[in-house]
Amino acid sequence: MTKTLLHIDASALADRSVSRQISARIVEHLAPAEVIRRDLSDPLPILTQDWIGANFTPADQRSDAHKAQLALSDSLLDEVERAEVIVIGTPMYNFAVPANLKAWLDQIARAGRSFRYTESGPEGLLTGKRVIIAIATGGTAIGSDHDFASGYLRFMLGFLGLTDVSFVTADQLGTPAETKLEAAQAQIARLAA
């Protein structure tokens, strides 16, 4: 049984969001002991010059202002580090991930904390976790030439050490949505708890 699960939703829609519905079903199916909830409909700040300056200042030399700049990022990374499983519900907006999900990834991609550079190249530090991504699209097929979301997510999460990534998809919902939702439910049923 999963002990701690981080549940992230990125859709700007509330009750009508297919990705939110699917991610909620995944969490219910896995029945974790604890759920950490992160709703990105309240957008995170984008990276600024001050944030970057604070991030690249060695930890033992950071001022109180630096620490304040990184406080949210530290909190987001704490959530990821605590979780055994991460469930991300996201739509595809304009062929890619929503800006709020990109902002979350920017906040957690920190050299020395979530990855490090070695002589043989970058090494992800957020290892040993399972990631399940519920992704919904209006007209774009997942894995098609126009899908710039799933490949980006797989690469970016892998860069951080999160390599056990699977997708539950409800794509091309512009076509008969009921069939797509039934297919997504079947994918959830096949997930090992």
Per mean pLDDT, which range of 37-51, 97-111, 130-144, 148-162 is the poorest?
Answer: 130-144
Q: Are 124 and 130 in contact (CB under 8 A)?
A: no
Reported pTM: 0.89
Average of per-residue pLDDT values in the chain: 91
Give dist(CA 118, CA 33) in Å, integer.
Answer: 36
pLDDT at 176 over 70: no
Using only C-alpha atoms, the chain has a radius of gyration, in whole angstroms, of 17
What is the pLDDT, as a whole number, of residue 6? 98
Taking only the tens place, the pLDDT of each residue in 70-117 is 999 999 999 999 999 999 999 988 999 999 999 999 999 999 999 999
Domains and CATH numbers, the chain: 4-190 (3.40.50.360)
Q: Which residues are annotated as a binding site?
A: 11, 17-19, 92-95
Sequence ranges of the binding site for FMN? 11, 17-19, 92-95
At 177 the pLDDT is: 62
**Which of 110, 117, 52, 41 has its CA nearest to residue 81?**
110
Read off the pLDDT of residues 33-76 as tens digits, 9 standing for 90 and up. Answer: 999 999 999 889 999 999 999 999 999 999 999 999 999 999 99
How far, in Å, CA of 143 to CA of 25, rounded?
23
